[in-house]
C-alpha cells in the first residue's frame, strides 16, 4: 500500500465489510472493478460476528437442550439435561470464526483489497482511512457505504456488566437464572426464547400492546403461546423506567396499567431497536442527504443524491435485514457497472427465529387491501400435515395470498416449524410470477413440511384435499 501524501486510487471503495459491504465488493470485482473494502472491525460485520450467526447458534443450542429433555407425548423423558455453557460459547465462536475466515478468503479470491481502519469523507472522490498508526488518502471513482447499525441505548438503562445490548447478551459466560428483556421485537424474542430454552426465567417488557408488532396477530399469538408454555412472562404496554444494579443482579422498575412495578433478575437485556451508523464519517462534507433518523436517502439503484456514492443495508430505509443488505449491495455494484438494475422489495422475506419460527414475504392481507388489490387468503394448518405430526410440532399455519382475478401469488405468511426455510418457496413463486395453480401442480415430496405450501395453493384454488 502506498503511504504518505500520495492517494491510493481505486475504482470502487466499499465502506463496511458486513453482509452488504462484502457482497457488494465481490460483485463489483466480478464485474471488473478494482475494489478496496475497509472496515474498522472484523470482516462480516454485526451479522456474522455479534448478530445473525451467533444468535442462531445460541438458539439452536436452546433447541438441542429442549430436545434433550425428551417428549412425554413420545414416551421419552430425561431426568436431567447437563449444559456446559463454556462449550456452547466455544462452539458458537467456532461457527463465527469459520464464516468470517470464509469471507476473507472470498474477498481475496476475488482480488479485493482489504483495509482495516476508520473512514472519513473528504469530498465526493476522496476519503481518509485512519488506523492507530497513520492516515492514508484513498481516491475513488465510486463508493458504496455499508456501515450498518448499532444497538440503541436507553438513557435510563446505560450499558454495563449487568445491563446488556444484544452483543453482551450473546457473550454471557453463564446461563442466567433470570433475565429481563426490554423490547419484544425480533431480537428480544429470539434471545429471550433461546435463554428460556436453556433454562432461564425470562421476563419480556414491551411498550406496545403486542410483541412482534410488525407481524399479524394470528401469527404472534402462536409464538406467545409457546413462550408462555416455556415459562416466559410477557408484560405488554409496559414502560421501562430504570434499573438498580447490584453486584449479583439488577432490579428493573417499569410502569404497567398505571402502576409502578419491579422485577429482579441476574441481567437486563435492552433490545429496543438499532440506529444507523452514519455519524462521524463526514457525510456532511460530501453533502449526502440523511433523514431525521440518520438514514441515507437513496434511489431505486441505492444511489444517494451524490451520483457516484451509494448506500445500502441498515443505513437506508427498510428493515435491518442482512439479506436485504446483500441484495442492495449487488444492485449497487451492478449499477456502478452500468447495468440496468433496480431494487424490488416485494420478494424480500422477513424472518423471526422465534419458537416456533415466523416468516413473511410479499403482501399481507392488510397491505393488499391498502393497495386496493382484491386477494384471496388461503390458509393451511401444520396440524393437518403428516411431517409436522411426526415431528410432534403442529402449532402454526401457512397463509398464501393470491390475486383474486388470476390467482397470482403475491404474498405469504408462515408461523410454525422451519418457517424460515419454507418461506423461500413463496418468495420464488412471487419472483417468478407463479399462480396458485403453478404451486399446486408442483409435486412436493411426502411427507415434508413443504407440502403445506402446496396444500395452501389447493385451498386457494378451491380444491383442498387434506382440509375441509
Q: Which residues pair with 271 in a beta bridge?
A: none
Grid coordinates in use for 213?
408488532
How many C-beta neighbours within 10 Å does residue 161 have? 9
Catalytic option among 63, 323, 446, 466: 446
Residue 463's φ and ψ, nearest 5 degrees, are -125, 55
Nearest to 227 by CA among 353, 351, 355: 355
How many C-beta neighbours within 10 Å does residue 189 have? 29
Instruction: Report the C-alpha gap between 227 and 192 in whole angstroms.
Output: 9
Nearest to 270 by CA among 153, 379, 104, 161: 153
Helix locations, 319-397, DSSP H:
322-336, 365-370, 386-391
Give the single-character DSSP code of 80.
Answer: -
Q: How far is CA 243 from CA 252, 254, 255, 365, in A?
A: 5, 9, 13, 41
Cell 387434506: give the residue.
466
Grid coordinates in use for 269?
437485556
446 in catalytic set: yes
Instruction: Report the C-alpha gap between 201 and 451 in whole angstroms.
Output: 36
Instruction: Report the C-alpha gap between 439 and 186 in whole angstroms.
Output: 30
Helix locations, 172-316, DSSP H:
186-197, 217-229, 283-286
Residue length, the chain?
A: 468
Q: What residues are annotated to the active site?
A: 446
Amino acid at each position: 500500500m502506498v503511504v504518505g501524501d500520495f492517494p491510493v486510487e481505486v475504482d470502487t471503495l466499499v465502506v463496511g465489510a458486513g453482509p452488504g459491504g462484502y457482497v457488494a465488493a465481490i460483485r463489483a470485482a466480478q464485474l471488473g472493478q478494482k475494489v478496496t473494502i475497509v472496515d474498522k472491525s472484523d470482516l462480516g460485520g454485526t451479522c456474522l460476528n455479534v448478530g445473525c450467526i451467533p444468535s442462531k447458534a445460541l438458539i439452536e443450542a436452546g433447541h438441542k437442550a429442549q430436545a434433550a429433555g425428551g417428549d412425554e407425548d413420545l414416551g421419552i423423558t430425561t431426568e436431567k439435561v447437563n449444559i456446559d455453557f463454556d462449550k456452547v460459547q466455544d462452539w458458537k465462536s467456532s461457527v463465527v470464526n469459520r464464516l468470517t475466515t470464509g469471507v476473507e478468503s472470498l474477498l481475496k479470491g476475488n482480488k479485493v483489497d482489504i483495509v482495516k481502519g476508520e473512514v472519513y469523507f473528504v469530498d465526493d472522490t476522496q476519503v481518509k482511512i485512519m488506523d492507530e498508526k497513520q492516515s492514508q488518502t484513498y481516491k475513488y471513482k465510486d463508493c458504496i457505504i455499508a456501515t450498518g447499525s448499532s444497538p440503541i441505548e436507553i438513557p435510563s438503562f446505560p450499558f454495563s456488566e449487568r445491563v446488556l445490548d444484544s452483543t453482551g447478551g450473546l457473550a454471557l459466560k453463564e446461563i442466567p437464572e433470570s433475565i429481563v428483556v426490554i423490547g419484544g421485537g425480533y431480537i428480544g424474542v429470539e434471545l429471550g426464547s433461546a435463554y428460556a430454552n436453556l433454562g432461564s426465567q425470562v421476563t419480556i417488557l414491551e411498550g406496545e400492546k403486542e410483541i412482534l408488532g410488525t407481524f399479524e396477530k394470528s401469527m404472534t399469538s402462536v409464538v406467545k403461546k409457546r413462550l408462555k408454555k416455556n415459562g416466559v412472562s410477557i408484560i405488554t404496554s409496559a414502560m421501562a423506567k430504570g434499573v438498580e444494579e447490584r453486584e449479583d443482579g439488577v432490579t428493573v422498575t417499569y410502569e404497567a396499567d398505571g402502576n409502578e412495578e419491579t422485577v429482579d433478575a441476574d441481567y437486563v437485556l435492552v433490545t429496543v431497536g438499532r440506529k444507523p451508523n452514519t455519524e462521524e464519517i463526514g457525510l456532511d462534507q460530501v453533502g449526502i442527504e440523511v433523514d431525521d433518523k440518520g438514514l441515507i436517502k437513496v434511489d431505486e439503484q441505492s444511489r444517494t443524491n451524490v451520483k457516484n456514492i451509494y448506500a445500502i443495508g441498515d443505513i437506508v430505509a427498510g428493515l435491518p435485514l442482512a439479506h436485504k443488505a446483500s441484495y442492495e449491495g449487488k444492485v449497487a455494484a451492478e449499477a456502478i457497472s452500468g447495468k440496468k438494475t433496480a431494487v424490488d422489495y416485494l420478494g424480500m422475506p422477513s424472518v423471526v427465529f422465534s419458537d416456533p419460527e415466523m416468516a413473511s414475504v410479499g403482501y399481507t392481507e392488510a397491505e393488499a387491501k391498502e393497495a386496493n388489490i382484491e386477494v384471496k387468503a388461503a390458509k393451511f394448518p401444520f396440524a393437518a400435515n403428516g411431517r409436522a405430526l411426526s415431528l410432534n410440532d403442529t402449532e402454526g399455519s401457512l397463509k398464501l395470498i393470491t390475486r383474486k382475478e388470476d390467482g397470482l401469488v403475491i404474498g405469504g405468511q408462515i408461523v410454525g416449524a422451519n418457517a424460515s426455510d419454507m418461506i423461500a418457496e413463496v418468495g420464488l413463486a412471487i419472483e417468478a410470477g407463479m399462480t396458485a395453480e403453478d404451486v399446486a401442480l408442483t409435486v412436493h415430496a411426502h411427507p415434508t413440511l413443504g407440502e403445506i405450501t402446496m396444500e395452501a395453493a389447493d385451498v386457494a384454488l378451491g380444491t383442498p384435499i387434506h382440509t375441509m
